[in-house]
Structure 1
Amino acid sequence: MDKLRNYDVSFSGLKTGKHEFKFEIDKEFFQLFDTDQEFTDPKIAVDVLLDKHTTFLEFEIKVKGTVELVCDITNEDFTYPIENQIGILVKFGEEYDDSEEDVITIPANDHAFNISQLIYENVALSIPMKKVSPNVSDEDLEILEKFSPKEIEEEQEEKSDPRWDALKNLKNKN
């Protein structure tokens, strides 16, 4: 947890108004979390804009960089550019509470806010569900589509087996 303190944004000595913070993150950052990543070799710049108000804080966290992904079709590694941003409102209260989607409450006596989890989530949200290398051609995708399983068409569902019709009639009579 001590290494995550590198991502504390101290706001107690700051004047009201806008303040910028910059971070560079790589694989060491993601190793601080006990989860498996869907990517390797992250090289990401994080720009944090803090707008300090007298009673609350506004954070805008932008991530931009690249990660290595494995193509779902070819199994080859490829570099994928990521860019994303999230906004969070931090207000002061009795105790820590992150149950609201875009609002986090921190204890009123805190002097810093740790953004490591927000950076992690921002990057994770940038990774696509379907990972397709730019080297995969349209022809490859067409072939894949041609041989992919299809849903049964309605026409086939309407064709019934005459052996079951008698049973269906019994069911309908009851």
Structure 2
Amino acid sequence: MQEYTVEIAKLQNKDYHYTWSGNRAFFEFFEESLVQNGNFEVKMKLRKSDALLQLDFDIQGNLELVCDRSLDIFSYPFQTQGKQVLQFSDHNEVLDDEFELIAKGTPQINVAQYIYELIMLAVPMKKLHPRYQEKSNEGDIKLVYSSEEKELKKETEEKNAEIDPRWAELKKLLENKKS
């Protein structure tokens, strides 16, 4: 994964642009990857300042996925974008998915892990071969239950129903009080 290494010690405080491409060898490097094959192109803009590095990724390509329904292999086109901020500090620490601290004087960074994570986020939860997509979309029609008609019917029935004589007497008392 040396080709995804950026020498940051020599960089001045300005914007830099990098491009990489990847294929099966990239995915084989990561054990237990959801994706075994694919190809992609990465465009990365690196903005360097005295305090931090900001990495903006734009990745597009095709992944070879296994259909959850038929186990057929199919090509899945994707495009994703992401950001990573690396702030200079006295130690290395990952603070969250998009922000981490790196030691001052770090000579280089390898962006392969960031690229891999962004690609994995682009993989759909439900991997369906394109021939099943139309059928799946038909099945995704959601029925919204509305009880409005039932409620109106229930109110009408209650009005028409015979009232218990004890409640009728109480109702008369309430109506007399209002008048």
Normalising to structure 1: TM-score of the pair?
0.73
SS at match of 2:132: coil
1:139 is displaced (CA, Å) by 4.3
Distance 1:7 1:137, change over 3 A: closer
Aligned equivalent of 1:102: 98
Distance 1:95 1:139, change over 3 A: closer
Distance between the aligned counterparts of 1:86 and 1:40, measured in 2?
22
1:83 is displaced (CA, Å) by 1.0
What is the alpha-carbon root mean square deviation over aligned residues? 2.1
Distance between the aligned counterparts of 1:137 and 1:121, measured in 2?
25
1:120 is displaced (CA, Å) by 0.8
**Is 2:15–2:46's contact at 8 Å kept on the other side of the alignment?**
yes
Distance 1:27 1:16, change over 3 A: same
Distance 1:94 1:143, change over 3 A: closer
2:118 is aligned with 1:122: yes
Distance 1:29 1:138, change over 3 A: closer
Distance between the aligned counterparts of 1:141 and 1:14, measured in 2?
49
Unaligned runs of 5+ in 1: 146-174
Distance 1:144 1:50, change over 3 A: closer
1:39 is displaced (CA, Å) by 2.6
From 8, 31, 36, the counterpart of 1:40: 36
Distance 1:143 1:121, change over 3 A: closer
Larger radius of gyration between Structure 1 and Structure 2: 2
1:5 is displaced (CA, Å) by 2.9
Distance 1:143 1:97, change over 3 A: closer
For each residue in 1:35-85, what CA deviation from the matched residue of structure 2 results, as whole angstroms up to 9, or x when unmatched?
223233211111111011122111012211001111112222211011111
Q: Which amino acid aligns with 2:40?
A: I
**Is 2:46–2:54's contact at 8 Å kept on the other side of the alignment?**
yes
Distance between the aligned counterparts of 1:126 and 1:138, measured in 2?
21
2:60 is aligned with 1:24: no
**Is 2:61–2:77's contact at 8 Å kept on the other side of the alignment?**
yes
Distance between the aligned counterparts of 2:125 and 2:54, measured in 1?
29
Aligned equivalent of 2:57: 61
Identity score, percent: 24
Normalising to structure 2: TM-score of the pair?
0.71
Distance 1:24 1:102, change over 3 A: same
Distance between the aligned counterparts of 1:130 and 1:91, measured in 2?
36
Distance 1:26 1:139, change over 3 A: closer
SS at match of 2:95: coil
